């Protein structure tokens, strides 16, 4: 490298459309040598490189620089401009820009290094629109920087060129048109600081804009003094900027995902199995940094599973909601939202929100709610959730089309992601256990098992009527076992009771076990001769696959989501004709060939429904969600909190759409709170009671005074 001193009245003889690289430097330094080496290696020889020196006393002579070579191994000339006395570094840079006219300029701090194609791509961003004044490069610290990182950003960038509020940063392309329009740069621009400099604002006031070259990554050695993780941190909340930076983060590191797994308490349910299997499938991809928000009282089955997955970080609700915690790229709620407080919480956890809407059965059925007002609140919450969610997932096309039919979501934000049926993470972990109430099942007696809650759409009365027909016309002496939770609203229990009251022989052959655990369900499936699944509508329909996994045939009716995963010709229930279905049931009970064919058909259909496929598909959807624009409702909610109106998460759980506080209690509570004599004592007692209860719960979890906090790592 040859260093040549030039005067401030020289002419660089660069034509219109040319570029000069200006490096402001307070004398020679090791960082400047590294900067020059990278610039010489990755910049065309026709582009002049000018080192601007303040000329301050004590600065080393720039001619004493080591001689880094360009990428071709040959020597390059580097020009040196020194400021006039008292003009300082700003004067040197302004002078260099003046003698470079009419060319554009790149102001590059000496603490930076560049990579391949940096200048061409920076120029493309600067000329992406006629109103662009400056284009800033992305920057990262030394621990992130290498040529591979720069190449990854270059290849994976969305190239959105998002608008910025100011011209800042360690590597900035300045168009000559901006200099001619608003005048010289200021000190803020050459310092690389994050403040709104005068030059930046002059450009904005004159109708020009500043953009981010989101496919150019440079090393900034000074970024470590602020926050080395920050690739780019202009004070700008624009959605395109968020999308660009999200893609860059994912180009340099793994996608960061949080799964809302707070449902994993109490008895293990089908939804809990889905959540655990989804977490395990994502962890097996090795392509995601995965966390799960777990409840305070994590059930034993879930704890056993999560303990065996070291790649999953467990978070308490308070940890996930901590505003000082770095937000994840995306949070996924793999089951539907039932409380407005949950929606408020989820929006604070990550930049993007994905919701799995398992079905819209409750949305369409008012009988599943205690009052018309509660149903209306749930419907409003569902509409709000699907409007705000960046993406909604459905187990089946039938479920997605149901939402589209009611205009609940835009088709571009609705995806079908079937769940797996090959339970790898939770299957085989449980030792089958005889459920309470099953002791009276005689050995050797045929058993028909009907799994599911007693919601009306589960259609358990059909199984009772079929049992009646088997007894009446085929002298069947087996037993019917009903296994599933009893619901408070929308239950078929009254219909079942009436049917059993008028048919004592049927009643004697029925065992209603209520809710069963996964281990108890496994015992029942091993004991069953036939599984009855007379559901009217389903979001997916897992029961037939569970039955086939135990070698037990299953009866179901064609339609809804079941027709997508199982062949209609194999469905043996004729909707909802008991007389036409009873002979088919008897055949599946007695004919080994029919039993074998039924199980084989179901198993064959399940071969493509793997959890590994689900995990891969989820990652595809996550990446697409992070890259796509957020829906307007989501952007407004994240920025202004229109849904919550400034209310806390707990207040939203009480009073938001679908909240647990009934509307007819709002006025009485208001009257109580404002009563001069009653309000204060009552609410004081409530506060004291809550604090006492909270302390008791903490003691129960081993978190009392003098005790160490629970080790969440041990759950892994």
pLDDT in tens, 498-541: 999 999 999 999 999 999 988 899 999 999 999 999 999 998 88
Mean pLDDT across 243-268: 93
Look at residue 659 in the predicted model and tell me its pLDDT: 66
Mean pLDDT across 250-269: 92
Long-range contacts, 693-702 (Cβ 8 Å, 24+): 697/296, 701/296
Give 448-479 pLDDT, tens digit per residue: 999 999 999 999 999 999 999 999 999 999 99
Strand-pairing partners, residue 135, are 173, 211
Strand-pairing partners, residue 256, are 289
Map residue 522 onto helix, strand or coil: helix
The packing angle between helices 611-627 and 239-252, to 10°, is 130
Look at residue 679 in the predicted model and tell me its pLDDT: 73
Strand-pairing partners, residue 448, are 480, 530
Q: For residues 534 and 461, is the Cβ–Cβ distance under 8 A? A: no
Mean pLDDT across 631-646: 73
Lowest mean pLDDT among 7-11, 469-473, 561-565, 602-606: 7-11
Map residue 477 onto helix, strand or coil: coil
Of 657, 637, 652, nearest in space to 351 by CA: 637
Sign of CA dihedral 565, 571, 573, 577: positive
Q: Give domain status of residue 635, yes or no.
A: no
Both 120 and 168 in one domain: the answer is: yes
Compute the CA torsion angle 567, 572, 574, 575 (nearest 10 deg). -70
> How far does Cα 554 stand from its chain's mean position?
36
Map residue 24 onto helix, strand or coil: strand
Domain count, the chain: 4
Answer whether residue 270 shows pLDDT above 70. Answer: yes
Place of tokens 């934000």: 413
Answer whether residue 547 shows pLDDT above 80. Answer: yes
Give 578-616 pLDDT, tens digit per residue: 999 999 999 999 999 999 999 999 999 999 999 999 999
Answer whether residue 71 shows pLDDT above 90. Answer: no
Both 178 and 63 in one domain: the answer is: yes
> Containing H/E element for 393?
strand 391-394
Q: For residues 213 and 135, is the Cβ–Cβ distance under 8 A? A: yes
Give me the domain span that covers residue 691.
662-716
Q: Enter the tokens of residue 480.
A: 């019917």
Give 138-156 pLDDT, tens digit per residue: 999 999 999 999 999 999 9
Distances (CA, A) of 623 to 144, 254, 616: 21, 11, 11
| Higher pLDDT among residues 706 and 215, named by residue | 215
Mean pLDDT across 288-301: 94
Look at residue 371 in the predicted model and tell me its pLDDT: 93
Binned at pLDDT 50, 70 and 90, residue 702 comes out as low
Q: Give domain status of residue 332, yes or no.
A: yes
Both 356 and 389 in one domain: the answer is: yes
Per DSSP (E only), the strands in 41-92 are 49-53, 77-82
Mean pLDDT across 37-64: 80
Look at residue 8 in the predicted model and tell me its pLDDT: 83
Q: Which of 188, 220, 252 is the last residue of a domain?
A: 252
> How far does Cα 425 stand from its chain's mean position?
21
Both 114 and 33 in one domain: the answer is: yes
Q: Left if phi > 0, otherwise alpha if psi is -120 to 50, otherwise beta: which for 192?
A: left
Binned at pLDDT 50, 70 and 90, residue 704 comes out as very low
Binned at pLDDT 50, 70 and 90, residue 58 comes out as very low
Q: For residues 694 and 701, is the Cβ–Cβ distance under 8 A? A: no
Q: Which of 220, 252, 284 is the last residue of a domain?
A: 252
Lowest mean pLDDT among 84-98, 176-190, 391-405: 84-98
Answer whether residue 231 shows pLDDT above 50. Answer: no
Q: Give domain status of residue 430, yes or no.
A: no
Look at residue 2 in the predicted model and tell me its pLDDT: 83
Q: Could you give the CA distance from residue 218 to residue 250 in angstroms, rounded to a whole number?
A: 17
Q: Could you give the CA distance from residue 67 to residue 213 in angstroms, rounded to a whole number?
A: 30
| Higher pLDDT among residues 581 and 694, named by residue | 581
Look at residue 450 in the predicted model and tell me its pLDDT: 98
| Higher pLDDT among residues 605 and 65, named by residue | 605
Binned at pLDDT 50, 70 and 90, residue 715 comes out as very low
Residue 507: Cβ within 10 Å count: 15
Look at residue 341 in the predicted model and tell me its pLDDT: 87
Binned at pLDDT 50, 70 and 90, residue 298 comes out as very high
| Higher pLDDT among residues 236 and 22, named by residue | 22
Both 454 and 380 in one domain: the answer is: no
Sign of CA dihedral 280, 282, 283, 285: positive
> Containing H/E element for 544?
helix 543-549
Q: Which of 394, 416, 438 is the last residue of a domain?
A: 416
Mean pLDDT across 657-661: 66
Q: Give domain status of residue 638, yes or no.
A: no
Strand-strand pairing, 171-174 and 132-140: antiparallel
Lowest mean pLDDT among 110-124, 218-232, 348-362, 582-596: 218-232
Answer whether residue 84 shows pLDDT above 80. Answer: no
Look at residue 517 in the predicted model and tell me its pLDDT: 85
Answer whether residue 360 shows pLDDT above 90. Answer: yes
Look at residue 537 in the predicted model and tell me its pLDDT: 92
Rg of the chain (C-alpha set): 34
Long-range contacts, 597-601 (Cβ 8 Å, 24+): 598/548, 598/553, 598/554, 598/570, 598/572, 599/547, 599/548, 599/551, 599/552, 599/553, 601/566, 601/567, 601/570
Both 248 and 294 in one domain: the answer is: no
Q: For residues 313 and 240, is the Cβ–Cβ distance under 8 A? A: no
Both 198 and 322 in one domain: the answer is: no
Q: Enter the tokens of residue 181.
A: 């329009």
Binned at pLDDT 50, 70 and 90, residue 69 comes out as low
Q: Give domain status of residue 632, yes or no.
A: no
Look at residue 3 in the predicted model and tell me its pLDDT: 85
Both 403 and 464 in one domain: the answer is: no
Both 327 and 189 in one domain: the answer is: no
Both 98 and 213 in one domain: the answer is: yes
Answer whether residue 14 shows pLDDT above 80. Answer: yes
Binned at pLDDT 50, 70 and 90, residue 646 comes out as low
Place of tokens 């219109």: 16
Answer whether residue 710 shows pLDDT above 50. Answer: no
Residue 132: Cβ within 10 Å count: 21
| Higher pLDDT among residues 340 and 448, named by residue | 448
Q: Give domain status of residue 439, yes or no.
A: no
Both 132 and 281 in one domain: the answer is: no
Mean pLDDT of the chain: 88
The model's pTM is 0.83
Of 401, 354, 357, 334, nearest in space to 563 by CA: 401
Burial of 707 (0-12, 13-18, 19+ CB in 10 A): exposed
Give 25-45 pLDDT, tens digit per residue: 876 678 999 999 999 999 999
Look at residue 47 in the predicted model and tell me its pLDDT: 96
Binned at pLDDT 50, 70 and 90, residue 234 comes out as very low
List the alpha helices (DSSP H) in 286-331: 300-307, 317-321
* CATH at 560: 3.40.50.2000
Place of tokens 């039924």: 598
Q: Could you give the CA distance from residue 714 to residue 702 in angstroms, rounded to a whole number?
A: 14
> How far does Cα 393 stand from its chain's mean position?
12
Q: Give domain status of residue 436, yes or no.
A: no
Lowest mean pLDDT among 66-70, 314-318, 421-425: 66-70
Mean pLDDT across 628-639: 84
Residue 101, C-beta contacts closer than 8 angstroms, at least 6 positions apart: 176, 179
Compute the CA torsion angle 481, 487, 491, 494 (nearest 10 deg). 70
Lowest mean pLDDT among 212-226, 342-356, 660-674: 660-674
Taking CA 428 as the corner, what is the angle to CA 307 and CA 430, rounded to the nearest 5 degrees? 70
Of 622, 572, 577, 578, nearest in space to 597 by CA: 572
Q: Could you give the CA distance from residue 625 to residue 418 in angstroms, rounded to a whole number?
A: 18
Q: Enter the tokens of residue 605.
A: 């259909």
Q: Could you give the CA distance from residue 443 to residue 423 in angstroms, rounded to a whole number?
A: 29
Q: Give domain status of residue 657, yes or no.
A: no
Mean pLDDT across 375-396: 95
Answer whether residue 72 shows pLDDT above 80. Answer: no
* CATH at 70: 3.90.550.10
Look at residue 413 in the predicted model and tell me its pLDDT: 97
Both 243 and 331 in one domain: the answer is: no
Strand-pairing partners, residue 554, are 531
Q: Could you give the CA distance from residue 281 to residue 283 in angstroms, rounded to a whole number?
A: 5
Lowest mean pLDDT among 255-259, 357-361, 368-372, 431-435: 431-435
């Amino acid at each position: 490298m040859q260093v040549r001193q030039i005067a401030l009245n020289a002419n660089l003889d660069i034509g219109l459309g040319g570029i000069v690289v200006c490096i402001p430097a307070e004398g020679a330094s090791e960082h400047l040598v590294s900067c020059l080496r990278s610039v010489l290696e990755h910049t065309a020889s026709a582009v002049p490189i000018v080192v601007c020196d303040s000329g301050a006393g004590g600065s080393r002579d720039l001619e004493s620089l080591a001689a880094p070579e360009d990428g071709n191994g040959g020597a390059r000339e580097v020009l040196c401009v020194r400021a006039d006395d008292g003009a300082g570094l700003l004067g040197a840079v302004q002078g260099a820009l003046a003698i470079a006219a009419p060319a554009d300029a790149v102001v590059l701090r000496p603490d930076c290094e560049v990579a391949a194609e940096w200048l061409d791509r920076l120029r493309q961003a600067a000329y992406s629109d006629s109103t662009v004044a400056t284009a800033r490069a992305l920057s990262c610290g030394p621990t992130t920087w290498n040529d591979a990182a720069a190449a990854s950003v270059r290849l994976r960038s969305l190239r959105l060129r998002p608008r910025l509020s100011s011209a800042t940063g360690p590597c900035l392309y300045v168009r000559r048109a901006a200099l001619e329009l608003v005048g010289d740069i200021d000190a803020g621009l050459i310092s690389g600081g994050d403040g709104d400099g005068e030059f930046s604002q002059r450009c904005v006031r004159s109708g020009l804009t500043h953009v981010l070259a989101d496919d150019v990554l440079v090393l900034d050695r000074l970024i470590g003094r602020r926050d080395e993780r920050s690739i780019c941190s202009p004070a700008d909340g624009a959605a395109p900027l968020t999308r660009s930076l999200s893609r860059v983060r994912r180009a340099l590191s793994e996608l960061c995902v949080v799964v809302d797994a707070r449902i994993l308490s109490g008895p293990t349910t089908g939804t809990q199995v889905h959540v655990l299997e989804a977490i395990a499938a994502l962890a097996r991809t090795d392509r995601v940094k995965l966390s799960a928000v777990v409840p305070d009282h994590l059930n034993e089955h879930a704890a056993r599973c999560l303990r065996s997955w070291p790649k999953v970080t467990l978070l308490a609700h308070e940890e996930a909601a901590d505003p000082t915690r770095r937000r994840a790229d995306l949070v996924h709620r793999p089951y539907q939202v039932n409380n407005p407080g949950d929606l408020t919480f989820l929006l604070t956890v990550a930049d993007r929100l994905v919701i799995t809407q398992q079905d819209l059965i409750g949305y369409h059925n008012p009988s599943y709610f205690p009052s018309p007002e509660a149903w209306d609140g749930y419907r409003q919450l569902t509409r709000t959730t699907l409007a705000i969610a960046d993406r909604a997932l459905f187990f089946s096309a039938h479920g997605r089309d149901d939402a589209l039919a009611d205009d609940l979501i835009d088709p571009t934000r609705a995806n079908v992601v079937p769940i797996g049926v090959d339970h790898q993470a939770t299957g085989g972990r449980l030792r089958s256990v005889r459920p309470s109430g099953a002791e009276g099942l005689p050995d050797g007696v045929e058993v028909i098992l009907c799994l599911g809650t007693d919601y009306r759409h589960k259609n358990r009365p059909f199984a009772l009527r079929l049992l009646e027909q088997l007894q009446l016309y085929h002298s069947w002496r087996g037993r019917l076992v009903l296994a599933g939770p009893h619901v408070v609203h929308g239950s078929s229990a009254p219909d079942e009771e009436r049917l059993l009251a008028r048919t004592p022989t049927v009643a004697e052959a029925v065992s209603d076990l209520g809710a069963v655990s996964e281990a108890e369900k496994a015992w029942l499936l091993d004991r069953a001769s036939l599984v009855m699944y007379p559901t009217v509508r389903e979001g997916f329909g897992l029961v037939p696959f569970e039955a086939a996994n135990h070698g037990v045939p299953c009866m179901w009716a064609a339609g809804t989501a079941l027709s997508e995963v199982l062949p209609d010709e194999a469905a043996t229930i004729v909707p909802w004709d008991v007389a036409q279905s009873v002979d088919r049931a008897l055949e599946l009970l007695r004919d080994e060939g029919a039993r074998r064919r039924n199980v084989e058909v179901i198993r064959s259909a399940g071969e493509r429904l793997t959890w590994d496929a689900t995990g891969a598909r989820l990652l595809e959807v996550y990446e697409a969600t992070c890259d796509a624009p957020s829906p307007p409702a989501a952007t407004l909610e994240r920025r202004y909190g229109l849904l919550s109106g400034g209310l806390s998460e707990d207040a939203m759980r009480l009073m938001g759409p679908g909240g647990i506080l009934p509307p007819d209690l709002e006025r009485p509570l208001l009257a109580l709170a404002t009563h001069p004599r009653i309000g204060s004592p009552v609410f004081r007692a409530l506060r004291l009671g809550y604090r006492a209860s909270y302390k008791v719960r903490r003691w129960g979890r081993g978190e009392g005074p003098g005790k160490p906090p629970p080790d969440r790592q041990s759950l892994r």
